[in-house]
Amino acid sequence: MSDLVSIDEQTTRIMRHLVATIAYRSKLALKDAPVGFEDQHLADGAMSAAELVNHMAMVLGYCRGRLTQGERVAFDRLEWGGEVERFYQVLNDIDTALASGAKLSDGEDLKMVQGPLADTFTHIGQLSTLRRAAGSPVPGTNFIKAEITVGNYAID
C-alpha cells in the first residue's frame, strides 16, 4: 500500500461540500417518497429504488473505508427505512473522517471523487427519475441557490 498523506484543507473543504451536496440532492429524491417507492423500477432488470440506495451506501462505504483505513463492508439489504438511514449514516461517517484529518494515498482523493462520489450523483438522478415515474416528481430546484449544509446528514 502507498504511503498515506493528509488531505489538504482545500480538498477536504471540497470533498465535504460534495458529500453535503449528495445529502441535499438525495433528500429531494427520498423525502416524502410515495408508498411503495422502494419497489419502483424503470425497466425489467433495472435496480429498484431500494436497491439503488443500498448500492449507493456500498460505494460510499468503500470511500469511508479508504478514509478510515477500515474494511470494505458489503451491506445486506434492509427494509426501506433502514436502507435510507444507513445511507445517511455513511455520509455522516465520511464527513466525520474528512473533518478529522483523513489520509489517503497520493491522488486517491481524486479517485474518490471520480468513483464513489460521482457514481452516487448518477444514482440520485435515477432516483429522481423513479420519483417522476411513480407520479411524485421531485420539485424543481435552483441548485446554485440551494443552502448546502455540511454536517446535515439525515432525511428530515
Q: Which domains does the chain have, with CATH numbers?
A: 4-133 (1.20.120.450)
CA-CA distance, 70 to 5, in Å (whole number)? Answer: 16
Q: What is the per-residue pLDDT for 154?
A: 85
Q: What is the per-residue pLDDT for 132?
A: 96
**Which residue carries 460521482 as its cell?**
118
Each residue's pLDDT, cut to its tens digit, for the chain (156 residues) gives 569 999 999 999 999 999 999 999 999 999 999 999 999 999 999 999 999 999 999 999 999 999 999 888 888 999 999 999 999 999 999 999 999 999 999 999 999 999 999 999 999 999 999 999 999 999 898 999 999 999 989 887
Q: What is the per-residue pLDDT for 2?
A: 62
Q: How far is CA 46 from CA 4, 16, 40, 134, 154, in A?
A: 38, 30, 10, 15, 27
Which phi and psi angles does 106 have, rounded to 5°?
-55, 125
Task: Give the closest residue to 50 by CA, choosing from 22, 82, 24.
Answer: 82
Assess contact for 23 and 85: CB atoms under 8 A. no
